[in-house]
Amino acid sequence: MNQSESKINKAQIGQCGVLLLQYKLLRRCIESAPMTTDSGVDLVAYSPSNGNAITIQVKTNLKPKPGGGRGKPALDWRLPKDSPAKYVALIDLDTQDTWLMSKEEMDQFAQQANGENYHFYMYMDSEVKTRNGKASHRGESDRFLLEQRIVDVFGPSQSR
C-alpha cells in the first residue's frame, strides 16, 4: 500500500468507485450522472442504443481484506435490501474490476441475507474451503463482470 492509499477515507473510496464506473460506462458511450444526495442510488446511467435509463448503487472495496477478519483475502460488499436501485455495481479498486448485478441476482447469489442487508463476498484464492459451500471465489463471479454484462444491460455499444 502506498502512502496516499493509507490516508484515503471511506467516502473517498466510495467516490473512487463511482468515478471508475462512470469512466468505464462512458468508454462504451453510456452516459451517467451521479445523484446529489444519498438516497440509495449513486448513478443513473443511460444508453442511447436501447433508450433505457437504469439506477445503480455503487459499493467499493479499496482492496481485499482477511475474510472473517483472519482468513484468506476476500472482497465483500453489503447492500441494503430496501435499496431503490435496480442494479448494484461492486468495485475492487485494487484491480479496478467491476461487477454488475441486478437486485434479483443479488437476492439469489448473496451468501448471506439478514432482515436488512444482502452480504456478497468472494475469496481471491479458489482453493479456499468454506463450511456451507456458498462462498464465491473470484473466478465464479466473472459472469457478473461489467465487460460480460454490458451488452445485456445496456445494449450494443455505439463506439467506433
Burial of 144 (0-12, 13-18, 19+ CB in 10 A): buried
* Parallel/antiparallel/unpaired status of strands 31-34 and 43-47: antiparallel
Other Cβ atoms less than 10 A from the Cβ of 63: the count is 14
Rg (CA), the chain: 16
Please report the pLDDT score of residue 5 as a whole number: 57
User: Domains, the chain, ranges and CATH?
Assistant: 3-152 (3.40.1350.10)
Q: What is the pLDDT tens value at each position of the chain, 160 positions in all?
A: 555 556 899 999 999 999 999 999 999 999 999 998 878 999 999 988 888 899 999 999 999 998 877 888 989 999 999 999 999 999 999 999 999 999 999 988 888 888 899 988 888 877 776 665 555 777 778 889 999 999 999 988 755 4
- Taken as a whole, the chain contains a residue count of 160
Instruction: Give the three-class secondary structure for 148.
Output: helix
* Parallel/antiparallel/unpaired status of strands 117-123 and 112-113: antiparallel
Say if residues 26 and 45 touch (Cβ distance below 8 Å): no
